Amino acid sequence: MKRAIVLFALLFTPPLVARDRSPLPGRGYANPSAVIAAEVAFAQAAQTKGQWTAFRDTAAADAVMFEPAMVYAQQVLKDRPNPPAAVKWQPHIVWASCDGSLMVSHGAWQQPNSVGYFTTIWQRQNNGKYKWILDHGDRLVEALTAPEMLSGFVADCPAKAERRPPVLKPVKLRKGQLPPLDPARRTGQSDDGSLIWEVTVDPSGARNLSVSWRKEGAMQPMLIESVDAPPPAPSATG
């Protein structure tokens, strides 16, 4: 498949290595190195425990992935056997909201006879650990060039006078039940509103992921990815 990816953040933000953001009163703080460590451990678990076992263990209950339709990951992976050889991947860069409640990792993956890129959105849980909530990516004709060092970037913090995003009342569900999944669109944001994301999926399977963050006093595009629809399956009659 062909993909388009634009990393707006790199145009105006100097690189840094897993920089931590000092905590703000009542807001938490950003520590990109925490998600870099989570990605590395995730990739290692895929090799030692099995690919889909690692995906299940690190996914939030409502995490989504694409096959190519958008699906709840835990539901489709529940009984899926691990492949004989797991995909390998390496994170290259992490972007974080100011409060660290949401982070985005991006890097490269490899399988026999194919290479590609991935973008994963991670959400901090109540225990402080991170679980992924969205797994996105595509194949590439040529492998991504690995950076000399892993980098972390942090969004600007909202001013104290700014309102936080409204807290929506959760839909009452039975234990373990998930709300109906909209197959065409899904959105999310950090607790402090400094990082937001949206993914849309066409009925053909084509999809677009966009992430914005707070920079220079306003929300600005940080990452845009587009994935083409998969080729139609060959007919039984040829």
Q: What is the largest CA-CA distance in the chain?
A: 65
Q: What number of CA atoms fall less than 13 Å from residue 225's CA on the CB side?
A: 25
Please provide residue 106's backbone torsions phi and psi, each rounded to the nearest 5 degrees. -140, 140
Q: What's this model's pTM, rounded to 2 decimal places?
A: 0.86
Say if 37 falls within a structural domain.
yes
Say if 89 falls within a structural domain.
yes
Query: Can you tell me which residue has the tokens 């939030």?
Result: 60
Say if 233 falls within a structural domain.
no
Number of domains in the chain: 1
DSSP of 31-65: -HHHHHHHHHHHHHHHHHT-HHHHHHHHEEEEEEE
Per-residue pLDDT of the chain (238 residues; tens, 9 = 90+): 444 454 544 433 433 333 344 444 344 589 999 999 999 999 999 999 999 999 999 999 999 999 999 999 999 999 999 999 999 999 999 999 999 999 999 999 999 999 999 999 999 999 999 999 999 999 999 999 999 999 999 999 998 756 555 555 554 556 667 899 999 999 999 999 999 999 999 999 999 999 999 999 999 999 999 999 998 866 655 5
Range of the domain at 18: 13-157
Question: What CATH number should be reported for the domain holding residue 150?
Answer: 3.10.450.50
Query: Can you tell me which residue has the tokens 């790199």?
Result: 10
